[in-house]
Structure 1
Amino acid sequence: MTEIITSTAINAPIQVVFDCARSVDIQQLSTAKTNEKAIAGRTSGLCELGDEVTWRAKHFGFYQTLSSKITKLKAPFHFQDCMVKGPFSFIKHDHFFESKDRTTIMKDVFAYGVPYGIFGKLFNQIILKKYMTRFLLERNSVIKEVAEKMY
């Protein structure tokens, strides 16, 4: 299992940041480089508890699909999405939000497992963990930009 933790300070109210983080539309905007699109389930708007989204995106030169489900939601402080089908052994992504003065701290705890035994572990150590970290940081940068413009 690999765990990536990020923290982003955003100059916007907690509810605005929470809504931006669970927006399918903002997710698609933040992943334009991989041409990520919601193709089934909730395909626009804000994800709610129990919603599933199937994403199609190009990673490492190949189009892949991944379906995730919102498994926990306590507005505006936390939500969790988990992979229900896709190329990983598992994904569990917790999103935490904390209000401090006029800033919201958005914290991601992204845990995943890779298939393919030793080959998967090597790929993860050499390439995938850095790739996924950059992917999350780019997403968070777009959320920050959108939330701060809204506020």
Structure 2
Amino acid sequence: MNFEVVTHVMAPPERVFDISLDVDVHSASMAGSAEEAVDGVTAGGMRLGDTVTWRARHFGLHWRMTSTISAYDRPAYFVDEQVSGPFERWYHAHRFHGDDHGGTVMSDIVEFAAPLGPLGRAAELLVLRHYMPRLIHMRNQYIKRVAESAP
């Protein structure tokens, strides 16, 4: 399953890029699911090759997911991919393009697959195709608030 979320942020691409890679910002943006970094990079900014293990609660269950920054070109894009965790596949490309007004167009392109074959595909169609974009949108709104506030 694939989807894209586009968010306009009134801050320069470098600022939005750096904030998007900050583990503390990510944890704060996902407070509703009690997401926290428990291994690897557990605070501050991430770089190419860094790995983080997240612990979170979704659908009343506790999950762990380890992801790595597999591509990185500041301030244009970075990619995080699942190394281990609940998905059969998780690929998340983050792209940042400056606009003509000093802001940034932030695009999140997500490709994922649930495990368990036909049961996973049913979960994708019934639940995850709505849940996952909403989760990324919530995260992006938090990043937007942080980036648009005074540095």
Could you tell me which amino acid in structure 2 is paired with residue 136 of structure 1? I
Match status 1:32 vs 2:11: no
Partner in structure 2 of residue 125 of structure 1: 125
How much has 1:118 moved relative to structure 2?
Answer: 1.2
CA deviation digits over 1:92-118, x for unaligned, max 9? 100000001211000000100111111
User: 1: distance between equivalents of 2:88 and 2:123?
Assistant: 14
State the match for 1:96 in structure 2.
95
- 2:105 matched to which residue of 1? 105
- The alpha-carbon deviation at position 150 of structure 1 amounts to 3.2
**Alpha-carbon distance between aligned partners in 1 of 2:6 and 2:95, rounded to the nearest angstrom:** 9
Output aligned runs, 1:1-151, within 5 Å: 2-101=1-100, 102-150=102-150
Structure 2: 5+ residue stretches without partners: none
Q: State the AA in 2 paired with 1:150.
A: A
Structure 1 unaligned runs (5+)?
none
2-structure distance, mates of 1:38, 1:150: 26
Question: What TM-score results when the alignment is normalised by the length of structure 1?
Answer: 0.97
Q: Using the alignment, how far apart are the partners of 2:129 and 2:51 within structure 1?
A: 25
One-letter amino acid matched to 1:90: R
- Within 1, Cα distance between the matches of 2:22 and 2:3? 21
Aligned length: 150
After TM superposition, the score normalised by the length of structure 2 is 0.97
Q: Structure 1 residue 125: deviation in Å?
A: 0.4
CA distance in 2, matches of 1:12, 1:150: 10
SS of the aligned residue for 1:123 comes to helix
Using the alignment, how far apart are the partners of 2:62 and 2:115 within structure 1? 18
Give the secondary-structure state (helix, strand or coil) at the position aligned to 2:49.
Answer: coil
2:66, 2:82 within 8 Å by CA — same for their partners in 1? yes
Q: Give % identity.
A: 37
